[in-house]
Amino acid sequence: MTIGKAGRHDGELLKITREVDGEDAIGVEFDNRTGCIGADLTVGADSVGSRSLGSNGGISCTGVKLFGQGFVVDAEQAARLGLGATEGIEAYIRPYITAREITQIRLGRYALDFLGLEPAAVAERFPAAYQWLVDHVKPEREHNNRDAYRRYWWLFGEPRKTFRKALGSLRRQIVTPETAKHRFFQFLPAETIAEGTLVLIASDDAWFLRVLSSRIHVTWSLAAGGRLGVGNDPRYNKTRCFDPFPFPEATDFQKSRIRALGEQLDAHRKRQQALHPGLTMTGMYNVLEKLRSGGTLTAKDQAIHEQGLVSVLRQIHDDLDAAVADAYGWPVALSDEQILERLVALNHQRAEEERGGA
């Protein structure tokens, strides 16, 4: 029998560690742990109850919500609409990507993004693109229940104006799938339009990329973000996973080291995918997971291992995990539970410091 109760509560978890046959019954020995009860019926550090930090505020959000599939075109259609031929249109017909394309194979699509222009200006400067929107977006938006979506039919439903300001003059942004089997982060050019199934972070600093890619942050995100979907895949909820996460107070030397390793990680994966167009991030991290667990690689796994140089990828991650642990001043071999306990305590400390004006 399972009984649920809303809210956060402390509890006790008993795990059987030993059974001993007796005359009348079997004697059972338990490992007894107490702590906050998690949604997965474990107990321990309450990462979900951590507070958002001002230092992380305003630089992360989910991608755009189109509310009109006509905004998206393939490369051939983008060329017919003037990309590569009409002056200035590259600022408005921009590369477009979804979470599935990040984890699997990219489709090379574009999105028509005319934020900042009125319809008359679009029609005057880019008539072919304007006609496309009239024919393929406006009819759908005219039937939307929300007045703003009908009135501003030529614009994305949720264009993420605030995040665009946070991007400013940055040349790239950090992205991660909101829901995916493996938690990884990578750089995309700032001009890329990321769809709402991706979580975006306005930073072009490999220091952030690497700390987010570390075992310390991934452990935190798995505990705080929950799971979703048919595959019960981890979900990266930015208000729980990013906003409260306490980054280490690293020295300049530590930051420089981590930054260099972060660039190496991003470059390695992109280089191998460029050399092998069928190679996916999910495939590489499936094999990496098998290598770490000592599992047997199938013939397909072996091919991915060779194409992705996955042993090299593993070494980069190991080096980065050690460097990030050093930046926190923690041993690299901490258990997941110990990592969460320290991060929750650090979150509370940072939140109190910010409250006091630090």
Query: How confident is the model over 194-210, as pLDDT tens digits?
Result: 999 999 999 999 999 99
Share of the chain above pLDDT 70, in %: 93
| Average pLDDT taken over every residue of the chain | 91
Give the neighbor-by-neighbor strand order of the sheet with 193-194.
72-73, 109-112, 93-97, 193-194
The predicted model scores a pTM of 0.85
Chain centroid offset of residue 28 CA: 43
The answer to whether the CB of 252 falls within 8 A of the CB of 241 is: no
Residue 40 has pLDDT above 70, yes or no: no
39, two tokens = 């949604």
Evaluate if residue 339 carries a pLDDT over 80: yes
Nearest Cα to 239, choosing from 39, 53, 89, 2?
53
Q: Tokens in use for 223?
A: 């505990």
Cβ contacts of 283 within 8 Å, gap of 6 or more: 304, 308
**Would you say residue 8 has pLDDT above 90?**
no
Amino acid code (one letter) for 281? M
Higher pLDDT, 130 or 31: 130
Per DSSP, the residues of 1-67 read -----SS--EEEEEEEEEEEE-SSSEEEEEEEEEEEEPTTS-EE--STTPPP-GGGTTSEEE-BB-S
Of the candidates 304, 265, 264, the one whose C-alpha atom is nearest the C-alpha of residue 284 is: 304
Cα distances (Å, whole numbers) of residue 224 to 38, 144, 320: 9, 34, 22
Q: Write down the pLDDT at residue 18.
A: 76
- Which of 133-137, 337-341, 352-356 is predicted least confidently? 352-356
Strands, sheet with 26-37, edge to edge from the N-terminal-most edge strand = 10-21, 26-37, 43-44
Q: Cβ contacts of residue 173 below 8 Å, gap of 6+? A: 167, 187, 188, 189, 190, 192, 194, 200, 201, 202, 203, 204
pLDDT exceeds 80 at position 230: no
Residue-wise pLDDT for 124-166, tens only, equals: 999 999 999 999 999 999 999 999 999 999 999 999 999 999 9
Whether 27 shows a pLDDT value over 90: the answer reads no
Answer yes or no: is pLDDT of 22 > 80. Answer: no
Residue 317 has pLDDT above 80, yes or no: yes
